[in-house]
Amino acid sequence: MFYEWDDGMKIGYPEIDEQHKGLFDFMNEFFAPCAAGAEREEIEKIIDYLEKYSQNHFTDEERIQVESNYPGYSQHKRYHEEFKIVVRGLRADLERMGPTPELIAQIEMAVGSWLVDHIQTEDMKIGKHIRDAQKWREELEAMRAANQLRDQE
Ligand SMILES: [Fe+2]
Protein backbone atom coordinates (compact mmCIF):
# COMPACT_ATOMS: atom_id res chain seq x y z
CA MET A 1 0.00 0.00 0.00
CA PHE A 2 1.95 2.92 -1.31
CA TYR A 3 0.65 6.38 -1.87
CA GLU A 4 1.92 7.56 -5.15
CA TRP A 5 2.43 11.26 -5.50
CA ASP A 6 2.57 12.78 -8.92
CA ASP A 7 2.91 16.40 -9.91
CA GLY A 8 -0.56 16.29 -11.47
CA MET A 9 -1.82 16.53 -7.87
CA LYS A 10 -0.27 19.94 -7.38
CA ILE A 11 -2.88 22.59 -6.88
CA GLY A 12 -0.37 25.27 -7.84
CA TYR A 13 0.08 26.79 -4.40
CA PRO A 14 3.58 25.77 -3.29
CA GLU A 15 2.98 25.92 0.47
CA ILE A 16 -0.04 23.61 0.18
CA ASP A 17 1.56 21.33 -2.41
CA GLU A 18 4.50 20.78 -0.08
CA GLN A 19 2.18 19.85 2.76
CA HIS A 20 0.23 17.43 0.57
CA LYS A 21 3.43 15.81 -0.61
CA GLY A 22 4.56 15.63 3.02
CA LEU A 23 1.49 13.54 3.80
CA PHE A 24 2.38 11.07 1.06
CA ASP A 25 5.98 10.87 2.22
CA PHE A 26 4.97 10.29 5.82
CA MET A 27 2.43 7.61 4.96
CA ASN A 28 4.87 5.80 2.71
CA GLU A 29 7.56 5.83 5.32
CA PHE A 30 5.55 4.96 8.40
CA PHE A 31 2.22 3.53 7.39
CA ALA A 32 3.15 1.31 4.43
CA PRO A 33 5.19 -1.05 6.62
CA CYS A 34 2.16 -1.48 8.91
CA ALA A 35 0.31 -3.49 6.29
CA ALA A 36 1.97 -6.59 7.65
CA GLY A 37 0.84 -5.81 11.20
CA ALA A 38 1.83 -3.08 13.56
CA GLU A 39 2.56 -2.23 17.15
CA ARG A 40 0.24 0.05 19.01
CA GLU A 41 2.86 2.84 19.18
CA GLU A 42 3.29 2.81 15.42
CA ILE A 43 -0.42 3.28 14.80
CA GLU A 44 -0.57 5.88 17.54
CA LYS A 45 2.20 7.81 15.80
CA ILE A 46 0.23 7.75 12.54
CA ILE A 47 -2.97 8.90 14.19
CA ASP A 48 -1.04 11.66 15.99
CA TYR A 49 0.32 12.75 12.63
CA LEU A 50 -3.10 12.76 10.98
CA GLU A 51 -4.52 14.74 13.88
CA LYS A 52 -1.81 17.37 13.69
CA TYR A 53 -2.00 17.38 9.91
CA SER A 54 -5.73 17.97 9.94
CA GLN A 55 -5.28 20.84 12.36
CA ASN A 56 -2.32 22.66 10.83
CA HIS A 57 -2.76 21.88 7.18
CA PHE A 58 -6.50 22.47 7.14
CA THR A 59 -6.04 25.77 8.95
CA ASP A 60 -3.54 26.90 6.31
CA GLU A 61 -5.84 25.84 3.51
CA GLU A 62 -8.81 27.61 5.06
CA ARG A 63 -6.80 30.79 5.53
CA ILE A 64 -5.87 30.78 1.85
CA GLN A 65 -9.51 30.31 0.92
CA VAL A 66 -10.61 33.23 3.05
CA GLU A 67 -7.82 35.44 1.72
CA SER A 68 -8.70 34.64 -1.87
CA ASN A 69 -12.47 34.95 -1.35
CA TYR A 70 -13.00 31.35 -2.38
CA PRO A 71 -16.76 30.89 -2.83
CA GLY A 72 -16.75 27.23 -1.73
CA TYR A 73 -15.13 27.98 1.61
CA SER A 74 -17.91 26.91 4.00
CA GLN A 75 -18.51 23.61 2.19
CA HIS A 76 -14.78 22.95 2.10
CA LYS A 77 -14.46 23.70 5.79
CA ARG A 78 -17.24 21.21 6.46
CA TYR A 79 -15.26 18.50 4.65
CA HIS A 80 -12.29 19.32 6.85
CA GLU A 81 -14.40 19.04 9.97
CA GLU A 82 -15.66 15.65 8.77
CA PHE A 83 -12.13 14.39 8.42
CA LYS A 84 -11.29 15.53 11.94
CA ILE A 85 -14.22 13.43 13.15
CA VAL A 86 -12.88 10.45 11.17
CA VAL A 87 -9.50 10.86 12.89
CA ARG A 88 -11.16 11.04 16.32
CA GLY A 89 -12.95 7.79 15.43
CA LEU A 90 -9.64 6.15 14.52
CA ARG A 91 -8.22 7.12 17.87
CA ALA A 92 -11.24 5.81 19.72
CA ASP A 93 -10.97 2.52 17.81
CA LEU A 94 -7.30 2.23 18.67
CA GLU A 95 -8.10 2.72 22.35
CA ARG A 96 -10.88 0.18 22.17
CA MET A 97 -9.49 -2.55 19.93
CA GLY A 98 -5.79 -1.91 19.63
CA PRO A 99 -3.89 -2.03 16.31
CA THR A 100 -6.15 -4.54 14.55
CA PRO A 101 -6.04 -5.25 10.81
CA GLU A 102 -9.49 -3.61 10.63
CA LEU A 103 -8.13 -0.41 12.07
CA ILE A 104 -5.23 -0.45 9.63
CA ALA A 105 -7.72 -0.91 6.80
CA GLN A 106 -9.74 2.02 8.14
CA ILE A 107 -6.68 4.26 8.21
CA GLU A 108 -5.82 3.22 4.70
CA MET A 109 -9.33 4.16 3.58
CA ALA A 110 -9.36 7.43 5.47
CA VAL A 111 -6.16 8.58 3.86
CA GLY A 112 -6.42 6.79 0.54
CA SER A 113 -9.98 7.55 -0.34
CA TRP A 114 -10.76 10.54 1.81
CA LEU A 115 -7.66 12.68 1.79
CA VAL A 116 -6.32 11.76 -1.60
CA ASP A 117 -9.75 12.23 -3.21
CA HIS A 118 -10.12 15.48 -1.34
CA ILE A 119 -6.83 16.77 -2.72
CA GLN A 120 -7.67 15.74 -6.25
CA THR A 121 -11.14 17.21 -6.30
CA GLU A 122 -11.75 19.86 -3.65
CA ASP A 123 -8.25 21.26 -3.16
CA MET A 124 -7.79 21.36 -6.90
CA LYS A 125 -10.75 23.77 -7.10
CA ILE A 126 -9.01 26.19 -4.73
CA GLY A 127 -5.94 26.13 -6.96
CA LYS A 128 -8.04 26.91 -10.01
CA HIS A 129 -9.86 29.70 -8.19
CA ILE A 130 -6.56 31.33 -7.20
CA ARG A 131 -5.16 31.02 -10.72
CA ASP A 132 -8.34 32.48 -12.24
CA ALA A 133 -8.30 35.37 -9.78
CA GLN A 134 -4.65 36.03 -10.60
CA LYS A 135 -5.37 36.01 -14.34
CA TRP A 136 -8.28 38.35 -13.80
CA ARG A 137 -6.10 40.75 -11.82
CA GLU A 138 -3.47 40.71 -14.55
CA GLU A 139 -6.04 41.40 -17.25
CA LEU A 140 -7.47 44.24 -15.22
CA GLU A 141 -4.03 45.73 -14.75
CA ALA A 142 -3.23 45.42 -18.45
CA MET A 143 -6.53 47.14 -19.24
CA ARG A 144 -5.77 49.95 -16.79
CA ALA A 145 -2.29 50.39 -18.24
CA ALA A 146 -3.74 50.51 -21.76
CA ASN A 147 -6.33 53.10 -20.68
CA GLN A 148 -3.66 55.21 -19.06
CA LEU A 149 -1.59 55.15 -22.24
CA ARG A 150 -4.63 56.16 -24.25
CA ASP A 151 -5.46 59.01 -21.86
CA GLN A 152 -1.90 60.31 -22.15
CA GLU A 153 -2.08 60.49 -25.93
FE1 LIG B 1 -8.80 20.81 1.76
Looking up residue 118, the CATH number of its domain turns out to be 1.20.120.50
Enclosing domain of residue 78: 13-152
Task: Give 126 Cα–ligand 1 centroid separation in angstroms.
Answer: 8
Domain membership flag for residue 65? yes
Task: Give 40 Cα–ligand 1 centroid separation in angstroms.
Answer: 28
> What is the Rg, in whole angstroms, of the alpha carbon atoms belonging to the chain?
20
Task: Give 148 Cα–ligand 1 centroid separation in angstroms.
Answer: 41
Q: What is the pTM of this model?
A: 0.85
Q: Per residue of the chain (153 residues), what is the pLDDT tens digit?
A: 578 888 999 998 899 999 999 999 999 998 888 877 788 999 999 999 999 999 999 999 999 999 999 999 999 999 999 999 999 999 999 999 999 999 999 999 999 888 889 999 999 999 999 999 989 989 999 999 999 888 887
Domain membership flag for residue 81? yes
Task: Give 60 Cα–ligand 1 centroid separation in angstroms.
Answer: 9
Domain membership flag for residue 36? yes
Task: Give 116 Cα–ligand 1 centroid separation in angstroms.
Answer: 10
Task: Give 31 Cα–ligand 1 centroid separation in angstroms.
Answer: 21
Domain membership flag for residue 76? yes
d(CA 104, CA 94): 10
Domain membership flag for residue 47? yes
Domain count, the chain: 1
Domain membership flag for residue 2? no
Task: Give 62 Cα–ligand 1 centroid separation in angstroms.
Answer: 8
Domain membership flag for residue 61? yes
Domain membership flag for residue 18? yes
